[in-house]
Structure 1
Amino acid sequence: MSNEQIEVLVIGAGQAGVAMSEHLSENGVPHLVLERDRIAERWRTGRWDSLVANGPAWHDRFPGLEFQDVGADEFATKDQVADYFQAYAEKIAAPVKCGVEVTSVTRHEGRPGFRVETSDGTIDARYVVAATGPFQRPVFPPIVPDGAVPVQIHSSSYRNPQQLPEGAVLVVGAGSSGVQIADELRRSGREVFLSVGAHDRPPRSYRDRDFCWWLGVLGLWDLETPAAGAEHVTIAVSGARGGHTVDFRALAALGVNLVGLTDAYDDGVLRFRNDLADNITRGDLNYLALLDAADAYVEANGLDLPEEPQARILGPDPEDAINPRLELDLAEAGVTSIVWATGFATDYSWLQVDAFDESGKPQHNRGVSTEPGVYFIGLPWLSRRGSSFIWGVWHDAKHVAGHIATQRSYLTYGN
């Protein structure tokens, strides 16, 4: 590939890169997609063994291809999702080259385009699309020092309960990953502590419709920015075991020990904020607000959907919320592992252009960077709330590809 020239270089062949390739091809734009591993590699090896998609198969897919081995209302396994994107790339004849890592992108001086250094040579590209997604660098809060417990891992490195040493496990984080891992560990017979922070908690389904459907008809997928103060609030939703509403009361009844936000560590003792009850209450309010909006939509549109009054029965608060545990002696509790389900940060150290703020956050408008010729795709809230979901990535890619096609049309003027 040494000294190759290409019009558009797409970096990353996950769901974002595959979607970009489809829309660039539809616009007649010559391009190449580089992937350092395999297509959709993060789905195969960057997830735990039992992970399934958080949305049903009718929703979590691209418009041009249905899942062939998953029912419409079922939740695809991680390997089925990876196979789906592999099949999609083949269907659209995406020009993907695997096993090539991009090490740097710099702007040419005195001429348009970028110099791209890769593990397989140099590429000159007129446009560059960063499709590496948000799951690049695991975030470990600097709270518990190395050696305080035998094992500390990020959720991206967790695979199954057998991977961890015997003993109790602390799971930090109450988003989709944290609650599913905590549930799996408890069902395997482990003593589990789950640190619960602020979260949204939608119903898995309500009145015979999945929450993905409700967010669609209520226009909530189209929100362009998160609510003030909710920029870092996680969403607790699960497709595991056929799909179910995440319920912290049910987790407590299963034997999971609930604690508040992990706050500090000192001499073997971990301390938690006294916010568990408030976090559960705010999650309940989010849950009930969606039920209210769904009921209003049903009435306003005269829909014949079955009523579900039992969905509003929350039950008593768990004992852990009434009498919160504010500290935990890790050795005394037998905690031998901590799983940090605390999210990811982006890493664009290879993209050496003027497209980031002082904190390293990409600066863009719906994926169109502040650095002309550079684009981002696959990021949460890229254009709206739905950007985090597979179908949302597809629509974001359509917009970005259209922008590139328009810019190319300007360049042909007078030629």
Structure 2
Amino acid sequence: MLPEKTDTVVVGGGQAGLAMSAHLSACGVPHVILERARIAERWRTERWDSLVANGPAWHDRFPGKVFADTAPDAFATKHSVASYFEDFAQQIEAPIHCGVEVRHVRHGGGGTGFRVETSKGTIEAQNIVAATGPFQTPVIPPVLPALDGVTQMHSSAYRNPDQLEPGAVMVVGAGSSGTQIASELQRAGRRVYLSVGPHDRPPRRYRGRDFCWWLGVLGKWQAKTPPAGKAHVTIAVSGANGGETVDFRRLADTGITLVGRTRGYDDGVVRFNDDLVANIAAGDANYLSLLQEADDYAEREKLDLPAEPEAHVIPSDPECLTNPILSLDLTEAGITTVIWATGFSQDFSWLHVDTFAPNGKPQHDRGVASVPGVYFIGLPWLSMRGSAFIWGVWVDAQHIAQHIADRLAPAVEQAAHANG
């Protein structure tokens, strides 16, 4: 049963909500977590079957809790990640209520606190933490109309190759999801076209260290703002197949046809921007620059890490790069499925407070909203580059919990004086 009142309501029972709960408990702040489905539901039912974490198990975790079934340098399956968070919730005795949908949050009576309207009743709270994460509403660009004989789906609805009708597949989006799905489909014997937009392409491992390690020692995880023009650049990195560097030329060599960014459709023909070569070149430049930064760091710090000159060699271009396809007749290509690996938008339509910019983005400082008592956690670049990652939400949750505790302290002190 839900309480009628509590100090803080955390909306969302994934990695951000659980990290928040751990730190609120450590600060002595009464709270509840409200989760519309189950703990870590998106890991369970909104991703494809073979998904694994994009970071090694030693990195993608909370401090002090390791994965029981995954070696430190391996990549946890989505089932392992869900179990990890379930175990953690039990470990910290998180006050979580599953199967409770938060429908509306509004200011309470008299202008203080908030009224949280849920599918199971109403709660009054002094603080609201939005811990619903960045992956809320699948985005499918309005490029293709509904087409007879062609199924269109977002990557969040894709599960495995057997789910799809026979025929070729076009995957739009070349980040982590798009590249992994395209590769899986190709290995299953499908003809695959992969639409590649601008992206960063870090090495999976270099000189014996995972790229997560390199980003740490190079100070990139702690960066406070994205590089100019790269706030929304896709990252092509994968933990699939034991962890491999995403190499679009290698994908082309396996039989995948690379095309540029999908821009339009007319009378059965999909048209692509003439930007494939430029997008691949920019990804290569990002890859090589990180290798050079790693080499400079290793030399400067006198690290005994084996040199890897072969990693700097860029293979020759495949035919689809030297002679890019700018249009594709779906029928002639035999395409029966289009998978849109085009990301997600955020949805805070339930949060009726004046803390959003005209574009709908929450306005905050390290997760502390402009409206007193409202907080956000788990969003990209909340306080740093690592904010949307498992370890990153832990760091941000500590800061936010302390802010809530400091906000609560005067009321606690006042109550103590009244009773004393």
Which residue matches 1:249? 249
Residue 67 of structure 1: how far off its partner (Å): 0.6
Q: Which runs of 4+ in 1 moved over 6 A?
A: none
CA displacement, residues 104-138 of structure 1 (integer Å, 9 cap, x when unaligned):
00001314110011000010011010111111100
Q: Is the 8 A contact 2:202 2:245 kept in 1?
A: yes
Q: For 2:105, what is the secondary structure of its paired residue?
A: strand
Alignment of 1:82-231 (within 5 A): 82-147=82-147, 149-231=149-231
Deviation at 1:230, TM superposition (A): 1.1
8 Å Cα contact 1:52-1:240 kept in structure 2: yes
Structure 2 portions without partners, runs of 5+: 416-420
SS state at 2:109 partner: coil
Identical positions, percent? 64
The residue type equivalent to 2:237 in the other structure is V
Please say which of residues 226-235 and 253-262 is displaced more in the overlay.
Answer: 226-235
2:260 counterpart of 1:275: no
* 2:319 paired with 1:319: yes
User: 1:354 and 2:330 equivalent?
Assistant: no
> How large is the RMSD of aligned CA atoms in angstroms?
1.0
1:398 aligned onto 2:414: no
Q: Equivalent residue for 1:384?
A: 384
Contact 2:378 2:389 in 1 (8 A): no
Rounded to whole Å, the distance in 1 between the matches of 2:191 and 2:406 is 57
Verify the 8 A CA contact 2:355 2:363 in the aligned structure 1.
Answer: yes
**d(CA) in 2 for partners of 1:211 and 1:318?**
26
CA shift for structure 1 position 414: 4.3
Q: Give per-residue Cα distances to partners, 1:251-279, cap 9 Å, x unaligned.
A: 00000000000000111100000000000
Listed one character per residue, the Cα deviations across residues 154-193 of structure 1 (whole Å, up to 9, x for unaligned) are 0000000011100000000010000000000000000000
**8 Å Cα contact 1:5-1:123 kept in structure 2:** yes
Residues 224-251 of structure 1 deviation map (CA, whole Å, 9 limit, x = unaligned): 1111111221000000010000000000
Q: Is the 8 A contact 1:149 1:338 kept in 2?
A: no
- For structure 1, the residue ranges without an aligned partner over 5 or more in a row are none
TM-score for both structures, normalised by structure 1 = 0.98
CA–CA separation in structure 1 for the residues paired with 2:224 and 2:238: 24
Deviation at 1:64, TM superposition (A): 2.3
Tell me how far apart the structure 2 counterparts of residues 301 and 148 of structure 1 sit (CA, whole Å).
Answer: 60
Letter aligned with residue 310 of structure 2? Q
Within 2, Cα distance between the matches of 1:2 and 1:18? Answer: 18
- Kindly tell me: are residues 114 and 145 of structure 1, through their superposed partners in 2, closer, same or farther at Cα, counting changes over 3 Å? same
Q: Given that residues 148 and 268 in structure 1 are in contact (C-alpha distance below 8 angstroms), is that contact kept between their aligned partners in structure 2? A: no
Match for residue 369 of structure 1? 369
**Secondary structure of the structure 2 residue equivalent to 1:285:** helix
Secondary structure at the counterpart of residue 282 of structure 1: helix
SS in 2 for 1:222: coil
Find the counterpart in structure 1 of residue 45 from structure 2: 45
